[in-house]
Structure 1
Amino acid sequence: MWSFTAAVVTLWSFAAASGSWDVCANHVGLLQLDLSLTPADTSLAVPPTLRAAEPLKFLHIPKCGTSFLNAIVHTPSLCPDLDWRYEVNSDVLSKSFERDFWHECPQVCNQSRFECNSASQTHEGIGSSYSSYKGHLITMMRQPEQRVLSAYHDARFDHGASRYPNVSAYAEGVAGLVTCQLTGAKSVDPVPQCGELQKADALAAAQRLREGFVFVGIMEEWDMSMCLFHKIFGGHCWHSDFENSRPTDPEDTSPYNVSELEGFRDELDGLVYEEAKRIFREQLVAYNVSTDSCAGCWSFRRASGVVETNLHGAARPMAMARMAMAWSMALILGILG
């Protein structure tokens, strides 16, 4: 398995070959970090908070961050057969990359530390399994109306939108989806199957979120969510943690116009989302996560992005040839583990 030491060697080798020493000057602080992702005793890299939460179980709410899988799989000890170059996206896998990953998961991840989801039911509810998952769950949450609009406008996957005449009708049809996923047992995609939900169900869902989840990230605060995740569970902030691997519209990153919903508001999921935000804020304080404390995370993110870009062929051909030579020398010297 390659370590991040290899990535730093590559970065410095590339800078030496191309004369771009400023690249390394900007990230010299990386050399002060614990750069090895695969120490002789892997347990040394795993914080107690991760050990206590294993096996982690990812509750994937529709349109709430498939990209989060990249942060999960690169967390020390969870998926030891995957190195830092592996990404859960269409470049590495196929257009159905999430299902591809779940198919591979039992072979590449340690299921005593990370429980693989079903490849056929990627948005399953936790239902009666909650008692066994309690204390091991992680998830990303999203503002309810934005989640609905993202699902409706998804050009690649239907999410049940074709069953309804317009977006406001669709919104009514999937109202309470998150509440259903947190309390029901069946898949909620393309549509939830929990029947008529009441406020009591949303309160129960919010309670499960607070008592059963060891990490609750917020889509609208993705960067801070990734920093918090690594603060709790260890590992480095890779460039891939911050990429949107499945955008509804690659050309538009702004919030959706909720006027399309003609006044619809998902009151039940709104209640759950407000609880998610409270939990998130509390964890930021508990783990001392702030813009300042995340500086190392942002630096590692930028540096790994430079390395990734160079390794994927964006650099000049001559520089790439020199990089290949640098890699060969590194292998000979035994730098790569």
Structure 2
Amino acid sequence: MRSSEWSDRNGSGGEGMVESGNLRRGVYGEARREGDEVGWSRVGSRMGTWKVPMSGFRLGHYGRVQSVLLILSWSMVMILVVRPRVLDGSLVKESKRGTRMASSPSPGMERVEENGDDMEEVGCPTARYYPSLVWLHIPKCGTSFSVALHSLLCDGFPKDHEMFRGKWDLVRNKGGFKQLGANASWCHQRMNSAIYRGGHAPINESTYFKAVALFRNPNARLLSAFHHDRHAYGMPRADRERMEMQQRTMQNESELRRFESFVTWPGIRGCQAKMLLGHHCATRRSLSQSDLTSAVRAVDRLAFVGLTELFNPSVCLLHCRLMGYDLKKELEMMNIRPGSYNENSSEIRLDDIGGTELEDLMDTNIFNAAVRRFQRDWNRMKVSSCLHQPRCQCMDGFDNEVQDWYREYQRTMALRRNMTG
């Protein structure tokens, strides 16, 4: 075949080999004698250097093999991209009901039950690797949890808690973290978090799969925010000044009356729901029923969900699901930032809020979804194939606490339903 015929058939400049005597010109313009080997550096950059003998190899075969290898290389890239979305050893399937596991169980999986109902077949997965995690740091929902996250993502994290007992500066800025001897620059790149920005950044759908969050009973969260100088992150300055002025005019009134004024101020309620939808905690934004549905579904799509009320079990579950090593550092079980108020010294009780017009109904729905997710994850990991592994052995010690708290939670919810029904 003449070179002109080949050029006409394949297009000028087309990929392939141009025959000229006993020479063949490759796609990269390299003249090689027939029988030489051609190194595919473009494909090799991802898959290693592949060499294909060209003697007796027709040009059409060359193009087809190159296409196959390119497809394989891109397939490997896509596998790496979706790898963080692997849950419990099976690929995630998205559906209208939320995140479900693939129907075919991995080897060694066993069936567990929750509340008498059959659940998905689950097993004990290996620790899941995340190139980065996003911490959804909801105000007043467990600043200390960042210690566990730093331990997960940052090389050089100090193992001796005596080095920084009480130094909650760790969770506020990079400088405080550098003082502890960790590789702060490397950690900062991996942990895309609101920690170093000194705030409470919201998340959106694009980061759900790698987001870690603690949720809290919204009534307790509001009480804590009220006693912490009426914490309202994200509220416009003008609104904040007007709210503070109103609080000053009520200094002689009861604490419950001042709390009522704080809770009913525009933007205060619905913090946890808003932050799941990409809005700051105290943004003055009305949420629709559709927004609530989206926020509830988002809870099931996060990489990890913990509960402030079950702080220590939440750290334990984080180790079991994500970390993959034994939980030995009591540091992570310490609340390194004491609460902003003592509930026993307050005139207001949570029972004074629940079931009244002061209750944060939007965030109550979010918290209920978080409780269901936490309980489901806890029961899924509490199987024999997990409990014998060091990373999950802490679950035995906390299981009674989790189950007792969950029973009390169910009792409280039943009482409220009876009151409103």
Q: TM-score range by the shorter chain?
A: 0.5 to 0.7
CA deviation string 1:179-234 (max 9, x = no partner): 1111124x32xxx21511122212111111112x1110011122221111110122
- Among 57, 62, 71, which residue is 2:148 paired with? 71
Counterpart of 1:329?
Answer: none
Is 2:127 the counterpart of 1:49?
yes
- 2:359 is aligned to 265
Contact 1:203 1:271 in 2 (8 A): no
CA gap 1:285/1:184 in 2 versus in 1, 3 angstroms: same
Partner of residue 144, structure 1: 218
Preserved CA contact (<8 Å) 1:54 1:136: no
What amino acid does structure 1 have at the position aligned with 2:137? H
* Partners of 1:167 and 1:260 within 8 A in 2: no
Unaligned runs of 5+ in 2: 1-124, 234-239, 248-257, 399-421
Residue 155 of structure 2: aligned partner: 80
Q: 2:199 aligns with which of 95, 112, 122?
A: 122
The aligned residue for residue 272 of structure 2 is 178
Distance in 1 of aligned mates of 2:215 and 2:194? 18
Q: Partners in 1 of 2:156 and 2:264 — Cα distance?
A: 43
Aligned counterparts of 1:201 and 1:168: Cα–Cα separation in 2: 25
Tell me, what secondary structure is at the counterpart of 1:232? helix
1:282: how far off?
Answer: 0.8
Q: Distance in 1 between matches of 2:137 and 2:245?
A: 22
Superposition RMSD in Å: 3.7
SS of residue in 1 equivalent to 2:172:
helix
Secondary structure in 2 aligned to 1:135? Answer: helix
Where 2:209 maps in the other structure, the secondary structure is coil
Which residue identity is paired with 2:151? H
The one-character-per-residue Cα deviations of 1:38-92 (angstroms, maximum 9, x if unpaired) are xxxxxxxxx84331x43111100000000101111122xx110322136897733
Q: What do residues 244-289 of structure 1 show as CA deviations (whole Å, max 9, x unaligned)? A: 2223347557996136656411111111111111110110112117
Single out whichever of 280-289 and 110-119 deviates more from structure 2.
110-119
CA distance in 1, matches of 2:134, 2:162: 19
Structure 1 match to 2:171: 98
User: Which of the numbers 333, 342, 358 marks the counterpart of 1:242?
Assistant: 333
Secondary structure in structure 1 of the residue aligned to 2:337: coil
* Distance (whole Å) between structure 2 residues aligned to residue 217 and residue 206 of structure 1: 15
Identical pairs, percent: 23
Q: Which has the larger radius of gyration?
A: 2
Q: CA deviation at 1:111?
A: 4.8
Q: Compared with structure 1, are the counterparts of its residues 253 and 206 closer, same or farther at alpha carbon in structure 2 (3 Å cutoff)?
A: farther
Q: Name the counterpart of 1:195.
A: 285
- How many residue pairs match? The answer is 241
Tell me the secondary structure at the aligned position of residue 248 of structure 1: coil
TM-score of the superposed pair, with normalisation by structure 2:
0.49
Map residues 159-308 of structure 1 onto 2, 5 A cutoff: 162=244, 165=247, 166-173=258-265, 174-185=268-279, 187-188=280-281, 192-211=282-301, 213-234=302-323, 235=325, 236-249=327-340, 257-258=349-350, 261=353, 263-288=357-382, 293=387, 296-297=393-394
* Cα distance in structure 1, aligned partners of 2:359 and 2:374: 22
* CA–CA distance in structure 2, aligned partners of residues 243 and 81 of structure 1: 20
Letter in 2 for 1:197: L
Equivalent pair of 2:174/2:184 in contact (CA under 8 Å): no
**What is the rounded CA distance, in whole Å, between the counterparts of 1:48 and 1:275 in structure 2?**
26
Q: How far off is 1:163 after superposition?
A: 5.9
- Report the secondary structure of 1:50's partner residue: coil
Q: Return the offset for 1:171.
A: 1.4
CA distance in 2, matches of 1:253, 1:288: 34
- The letter for the 2-side match of 1:49 is A
Shift of 1:170: 1.4
By how many angstroms is 1:120 displaced?
Answer: 4.0
Q: Relative to 1, partners in 2 of residues 1:267 and 1:229: Cα closer, same or farther, differing over 3 Å?
A: same
Q: Is the 8 A contact 1:56 1:115 kept in 2?
A: yes
Higher relative contact order (CA 8 A, sep 6+): 1
Aligned-partner Cα distance in 2 for 1:254–1:208: 36
Aligned residue for 2:173, secondary structure, equals helix
> Structure 1 residues 120, 113: CA separation in 2 closer, same or farther (over 3 Å shift)?
closer
TM normalised by structure 1 equals 0.61
Change (3 A) 1:55 1:296: same
Range moving further from structure 2, 153-162 or 217-226: 153-162
Structure (1 or 2) with the greater strand fraction:
2
